[in-house]
Amino acid sequence: MDHAFDLKDDVVLDPSAAAQIRDRLGIPDGRAPKLAFHAGPGDAVGTFEQWAEGRHDARVPVLTYSAQFYSLVAALGAEALVLTESESRPTVADPRFRFVCVKREGSAKGIRWHLAERDYARRLAAAVSDWAPDVTILGGDLKPSAYHALAGRGQLILSLHNTFWPMGNRPQTLKSRARQWLLGRALARAKGAVCTSAECARQLETLAGDVQRVKTEMSQVRPEHLHTPRARKRARQLLFLGRIEANKGVFDLLGAFGALARRFGDARLVLAGSGSADEALRDAVSHQDAAAQIEFAGSLDADGVHDALRESDLLVCPTRTEFNEGLALVVLEAAAQGVPSVASSVVPAAETVGAACVTFPADDVAALRGELEKIMEDDEAYTRLARNAVPIRAKMLDRSLGWSSCLAGVIAA
């Protein structure tokens, strides 16, 4: 499903924002603002190819950060340096954008990993320094040395998509606290931040103190993916949507559903996604008495994600405590389709959707089974839960709450 779009639909700027940004950054007349963007491991080049053709990335069920960044650059009349981990280059020529590959070692372990990350920080700083940006936008998954090295390369703005520890489970060992102190000193070099959840913002404040300008963005959906939510009367079609990994709690969900499947013979569990635990999960399902009630949907594109959500009654997000969940976007995507959720206690998105989500203690299969059982046996309680999901839709269509609009506000503030 391809739809042409206007960049004005993606970024909402105050009428004076461009002038404010030039003034705040001391940019002389006649020169475009220069923004450096650490795009991370995603396919920022592939997204750019689709953006340049006037389309959103068909692979992703929400507006991507990189597409929103490209739209912001265009709206501000800026120039951009995009730092990627991929050697691919756009086939579409656009003088406003320069893509530079800075490779990152992903397989090293132990001391070799620490040395590789320090070297990655050095190479990032060198690439940014050569370009001399006014603003450098960095993710939150770097070594402290990277933030110190890049703090002098224009204003440093953080884009935090993950938490630094699982919500409610801050490490307290002496070594962990020392690492947190070092990281906090580095993050404090930033002039502002855009956070994917309130929990990310809280953890940033815990580590770095009062960072000057912080906004929490709302993930944005495309209107063509949304239809009038159907009336949901009972919870029978359960959906897991995400990476198939043990730390995402998929085996916990399998155990909980297997214990309930005999009682709810018309219930179905759909497992959508892929990951390193695919084979192990398939083997575990094959040993379940409820195997006939479980379906593997595999990886889904944007249309497939929203179709699966519309057909579901309940999303289950059972992330375990060993995973640093920055938001769990699927909970918001589900709410936008009128689908309520059951989520573990380390999922920050539960706070965002409020009464449309029931939480249980992470890692507790019995507690997960108990919450599912209550929802599946009480149709009235379920319908109330589903109705509570409806209000989130308007926020996920309000582009003034999106990442790029928040980023512009942080830079201009």
229-233, 305-309, 323-327: least confident range: 229-233
Q: How far is CA 9 from the centre of its chain?
A: 20
* pLDDT band (50, 70, 90) for residue 7: low
Calpha distance 272→210 (Å, rounded) = 40
- All structural domains of the chain, each given as residue ranges with its CATH number in brackets, are 7-220+398-412 (3.40.50.2000), 223-394 (3.40.50.2000)
Query: Which neighbouring-strand residues pair with 314?
Result: 238
Task: Determine the average pLDDT of the residues in 370-398.
Answer: 96
7-11, 36-40, 358-362: least confident range: 7-11
Query: Which neighbouring-strand residues pair with 271?
Result: 240, 296
**Cα angle at 110 between 109 and 115, to 5 degrees?**
90
φ/ψ (deg, to 5) at 405: -65, -40
Contacts of 132 (CB under 8 A, 6+ apart): 34, 153, 154
> 70 by DSSP, 3-state: which?
helix
DSSP string, 222-235: -GGG--PPPP----
Dihedral (CA of 285, 286, 292, 296) sign = positive
281, pLDDT greater than 70: yes
Query: Which neighbouring-strand residues pair with 270?
Result: 239, 295
Task: Determine the average pLDDT of the residues in 164-192.
Answer: 96
Task: Determine the average pLDDT of the residues in 129-139.
Answer: 94
295, pLDDT greater than 90: yes
Give 169's DSSP letter.
-
Of residues 332 and 10, more confidently modeled: 332
Q: What percent of the chain has pLDDT over 70?
A: 98
Contact assessment for residue 75 and residue 8, using Cβ atoms and an 8 Å cutoff: yes
Task: Determine the average pLDDT of the residues in 388-401.
Answer: 95
114, pLDDT greater than 90: no
